[in-house]
């Protein structure tokens, strides 16, 4: 017998089973129904609009299924949305994400962005992270630990002190909407991928306290919207790229505790919004460029550790 034909049914409780598939639209025919409990199952698909016909319904529980939440929910102009909001106010917050089977199965970001995150997971031994909640397990990237999604794109990666071991993959350069990239106090080695210079929406880049080596990519000078660049306490070497002088929105530049050498680029004098400039404990030499006098907003200027070499150089 079809459940939709039980016209005298008042209570329908199917909770805590392993029911799958969609909710039958025929349940909307149960005109006498007062209580409908379908929670803690594996139901999927959209909630049928016919449920609005259940005018006698007092109790509804759809929690902990895999039901699709409409992108515009709750829309006050949609009768089903209004009905669900009144009968089960938090159903849309209590759906179990589908199982991750690959980036083609993700539902909240483009495949290329998912692939960039998977590359990060694989290149930094994700299986050994301290916290890897939901990574490569659910189809909603936005609920992976340390990831923020907005308007269908990854906008933030914030993973601090999480035992990442490995290197930064070049695929991170495909996260075109990324605003914050913060991977601090980990064990990231090798060099900074020049592909990060493609992240034109990036506001903050923070790799403090890792073991990055090699030179600072001049491509970082393309990040016109960058406000904070923190690469301190690594093993970076070579010269400070003059291209960093293009980052005119920069308020914070931290390159301290590395193995940088050569002079301080005069182009840093273009950073007129700079508040903090930390270059101490490197192997810099030469004179302090007079162009740093243009930094009228500067609050902190730390050159200790390298400054001795400047003075010795000038006195010879």
The answer to whether residue 310 scores a pLDDT higher than 70 is no
CA-nearest of 220, 219, 239, 222 to 230 is 220
pLDDT in tens, 198-244: 999 999 999 999 999 999 999 999 999 999 999 999 999 999 999 99
Mean pLDDT across the chain: 92
Residue 196 domain-assigned (yes or no) = yes
Q: Does residue 10 lie within any of the structural domains?
A: yes
Are residue 72 and residue 132 in the same domain, yes or no?
no
Q: What phi, psi does 150 have (nearest 5°)?
A: -145, 135
Q: What is the pLDDT of residues 297-307, one digit of tens each?
A: 999 999 987 65
Answer yes or no: is pLDDT of 102 > 60. yes
Distance CA 171, CA 136 (A): 17
316 DSSP assignment: -
Our count of domains for the chain comes to 2
**pLDDT confidence of residue 4:** 72
Structural domain ending residue among the three candidates 44, 68, 93: 93
Please, which pLDDT band fits residue 118 given cuts at 50, 70 and 90? very high
Lowest mean pLDDT among 108-112, 121-125, 240-244, 309-313: 309-313
Above 80 in pLDDT, residue 8?
A: yes
Q: Examine the domain organization and report whether 66 and 112 are in the same domain.
A: no
114 with 237, same domain: the answer is yes
Q: Closest Cα to residue 39, out of 24, 17, 7?
A: 17
Ordered DSSP codes for 19-75 = -EEPPPGGGGG-TT--EEE--SSEEEEPPPGGGGG-TT--EEE--SSEEPPPTT-S-
- Going by C-alpha positions, the residue among 226, 262, 271 that lies closest to residue 241 is 262
Structural domain of 86: 3-93
User: Which of residues 93, 126, 150 is at a domain's end?
Assistant: 93
82 lies in the same domain as 113 = no
Q: How many residues does the chain have?
A: 316
Please state, in angstroms and rounded to a whole number, the distance separating the CA atoms of residues 227 and 172. 19
Q: Do 30 and 111 reside in the same domain of the chain? A: no
Last residue of one domain, picked from the residues 36, 69, 93: 93
Q: How far apart are CA 217 and CA 198, in angstroms?
A: 12
Cβ atoms 7, 32 nearer than 8 A: yes
More confident residue, 66 or 168: 168
Residues 6+ apart with CB under 8 A from 279: 240, 255, 256, 260, 264, 302, 303, 306
> Does the pLDDT of residue 309 top 50, yes or no?
no
Concatenated DSSP letters of 133-177: TTTTTBS-GGGSTTEEEETTEEEEEE--SS--EEE--GGGGG-TT
Which of 2-11, 170-179, 278-287 tops mean pLDDT?
170-179
Q: Which residues pair with 243 in a beta bridge?
A: none
Q: Note the Cα 181 to chain centre separation in Å.
A: 8
């Amino acid at each position: 017998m079809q459940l939709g034909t039980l016209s005298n049914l008042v209570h329908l409780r199917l909770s805590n089973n392993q029911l799958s598939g969609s909710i039958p639209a025929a349940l909307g025919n149960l005109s006498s129904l007062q209580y409908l409990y379908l929670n803690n199952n594996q139901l999927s698909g959209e909630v049928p609009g016919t449920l609005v016909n259940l005018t006698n319904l007092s109790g509804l529980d759809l929690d902990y299924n895999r039901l699709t939440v409409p992108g515009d929910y709750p829309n006050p102009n949609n009768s089903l949305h209004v009905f669900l909001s009144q009968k089960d106010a938090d159903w849309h917050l209590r759906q179990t994400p589908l199982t991750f089977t690959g980036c083609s199965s993700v539902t909240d970001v483009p495949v290329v962005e998912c692939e960039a995150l998977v590359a990060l997971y694989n290149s930094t031994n994700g299986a050994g992270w301290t916290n890897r909640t939901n990574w490569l397990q659910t189809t909603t990237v936005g609920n992976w630990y340390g990831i923020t999604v907005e308007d269908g794109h990854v906008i933030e990666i914030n993973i601090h002190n999480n035992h990442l071991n490995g290197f930064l993959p070049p695929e991170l350069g495909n996260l075109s909407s990324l605003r914050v990239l913060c991977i601090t106090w980990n064990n990231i080695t090798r060099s900074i991928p020049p592909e990060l210079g493609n992240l034109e929406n990036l506001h903050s880049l923070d790799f403090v306290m890792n073991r990055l080596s090699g030179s600072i990519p001049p491509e970082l000078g393309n990040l016109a919207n960058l406000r904070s660049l923190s690469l301190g306490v690594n093993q970076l070497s070579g010269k400070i790229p003059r291209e960093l002088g293009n980052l005119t929105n920069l308020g914070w530049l931290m390159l301290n505790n590395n193995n940088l050498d050569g002079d301080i680029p005069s182009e840093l004098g273009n950073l007129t919004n700079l508040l903090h400039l930390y270059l101490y404990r490197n192997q810099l030499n030469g004179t302090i460029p007079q162009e740093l006098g243009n930094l009228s907003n500067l609050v902190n200027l730390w050159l200790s550790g390298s400054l001795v070499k400047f003075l010795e150089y000038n006195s010879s």
